[in-house]
Structure 1
Amino acid sequence: MSITTTAPSPSAETSSLLHQPKAVWAVAFASVIAFMGIGLVDPILKPIGEQLHATPSQVSLLFTSYMLVTGVAMLITGVVSSRFGAKKTLLGGLAIIIVFSALAGMSSSVGEIVGFRAGWGLGNALFIATALATIVGAASGGVAKAIILYEAALGIGIATGPLVGGVLGGISWRGPFFGVAALMAVAFVLIIVMLPEGPKPTHHTSLAAPFLALRHRGLLTVGITALLYNYGFFTLLAYTPFPLDMGTYSIGFIFFGWGLMLAIASVFLAPRLQRAYGTLPMMGVALTLFAIDLGLMAAFTENKTVLIVGVVAAGLFLGVNNTLITETVMIASPAERSTASAAYSFVRFVGGAAAPYLAGKLGEHSIHIPFWVGAACTLASVAVLYSGRKVLAHIDDHDPAPHSIEEAEAITVGD
């Protein structure tokens, strides 16, 4: 006797994927807006500088303050969520983003915007660190389908952030800030109404845990690697709009291309390349290609075509590397994943926060130097990575399934 099984049709799979509780859609919508914040301000950097009479280095502090506070806040997200629960942490993060993004839109000086972007970074850290676990806990149809939804929200947010910034920035540089505040206010109401209260946390995370985790050489090696290549990453993100010297719509579309490539590489390319060639080799290749990319942008900074192609291509290299390096963080040390992620994020964001300001300052003397320095730091990250290859040799013994929690966490923290 034989038993015949029929595979579910694609339409049935799609129906199952889309048939989710309202709470999942509320958090997914808020996640899209949260991830927009990464590239939202790119198209308006130059208009802000022109209208508020600020230098490129001063305007670049919008990135520095945001990333610095995000990095430090990552140390406390576990402490907060383990004491107050997921829903209160999500709502607290959203409320902070709403207040500080609206205040940034009402600012009359670059200094005020920089300060309010710092507050925005705190809210974003609290929200993003909690959103994945919330979606996984509330979704129907299994973990894999929940992760697909989360990865889709992440990709849409990263890709559309610069585009939305360009469209609203074409009206006024204040537009993107007020737009985020309005959309997050909608998300805030949706989560209050649709997301039920979860069980009270029973395990409290220690504030010292991330610092203790950094004593492990593997985790510290990966953290320093990320610190160095993030200098190049944030130089690209915060400084390139100035030598491009184009309108908000054009900058928005260029960085939309960057975000789209980043999302595609993070979600689709990185897992496949990892399984085909191994984690460390692909990280080394991706970082080397990114360093070459920055070197070409340094050599031909006056050529806008080279800069545009360089920005979009960088999305592919960074998407692959960001996902793989952060997945490495999850398994490089015996620390809990949340603790290792917090320690890594602290090092990479706090260290990389200096890049936007320094790139802007160097660019005031020569438009080529910021990219050369970024390329050099990225090459140095490759050297640091391979210096720790012995302590990281075990990472390919762990092979996360497609759309697993490990893979989603890697994509989240990496981006």
Structure 2
Amino acid sequence: MRLSSAIRALPASLSRHLPRRLLTLAAVGALVACGGGGGNKVTLLDAFQVLGQVNYTNDVANATSSNQAGSPTASTLSGPFGGVSVSSSGSTLFVADTANYRVLGYSPIPNSNGGASTFVLGQANLTSRVSTNPPTQGTLSQPSSVSISSDGSKLVVADTGNNRVLIWNSVPTATGTPPDVVVGQADFTTSDYSGTPTASNLRAPKAAIIVGSKLLVADTGNNRVLVWNTVPTSNGAAADYVLGQTSLSSQFSPVTTNYTSAGLYTPSALWSDGTQLLVADTGNNRVLYWSVFPTATATPADFVVGQTDFNRNSSGTAATLLKSPSGVTSDGSSFYVADTGNNRVLKFGSMPIASGQAATFVYGQGETKFTAATANDSDQNGTSDDNPSQDTLSGPTGVYISADTAGKTLYVTDRQNHRVLLFTP
């Protein structure tokens, strides 16, 4: 018996009055009491909603109800990459719809599968898919992340294909709202990369966040994270310092020196509350953790997750190992990692106090089976199923946790299934 079936099997008196989190716990108890209802079958946790697809079995980009590809619509996605973002009021959801060259805004946030977005950034309307080269102030090329600032006032997008980051000084609410500031380029109509790292250029950035007064950018192609002490108000502003490199103009060889406590190799996701910092160090198969926010160039991380120490970067599948992690988020006490190469999301029950910390829960694979890594494998037999399901993942690249009136929601960007899944964490 799967967890969703166990929830539906609970008495109606419970279903009507208990929140979903308690229903989940009650259902897990029921499964344990009856031996799981399926012999040795491993239980997977079901998502409670999907966006980008009309159901849980569609896996085609811009799919219609029959799982056939079409043009973009207000309800479809194509290769979304980074974690989503929810406004401070909880009324608007933003998703970086990467392969459709756009960011979608959902306001209000849909409460049913396949819900429609209400406005779009980067395109003229919700059905267009235009790639503009050279770019303009209002276009996007393969945007990889979207994030609302920690104070809820600004929006920032990593416009990966244009080698730039765009900043809106107020969170947009309508189609075509142009950004106010660009960093990584001197103006809005340039997308080139010079080939030499500087304090003011970017190469295929995949993540950007604003925390307090600071802007942080995962400058993926330059194997570094740039930090601006003050959110830029003018185009092309130079960063103040760098993590992952020894200077703002260096780019050491990722083959030999990138997996020290101060090195990075293709970082692609960031999380910070202004005090702590997590970086998904994708190419090194690890997540780095600073317990105190770094304030100077080349500050070494305190601990590493996904490796036992800072002297290795091999991939693996276990509760303590990662393979090409591309997303990271936290609620301040626990943290979550999109373990892309293992087709799963891992939950860690506390912030790191030592290197090599073990995960406490897994999404997309069996709840206690940290050795499983096959995509879309609901029956956990090691072979991908014909279609995805309510409890499986294929190449997840983003995670985001938000609090709303019903409690916390974990959003998982399930990239290769062209969807976003919502879980109760």
* Superposed pair shares fold, TM > 0.5: no
* TM-score bracket for this pair, using the shorter chain length: under 0.3
Bigger fraction of residues in helix: 1
Whose strand fraction is larger, Structure 1's or Structure 2's? Answer: 2
Larger relative contact order, structure 1 or 2 (CA cutoff 8 Å, min sep 6):
1
TM-score, normalised to structure 2's length?
0.27
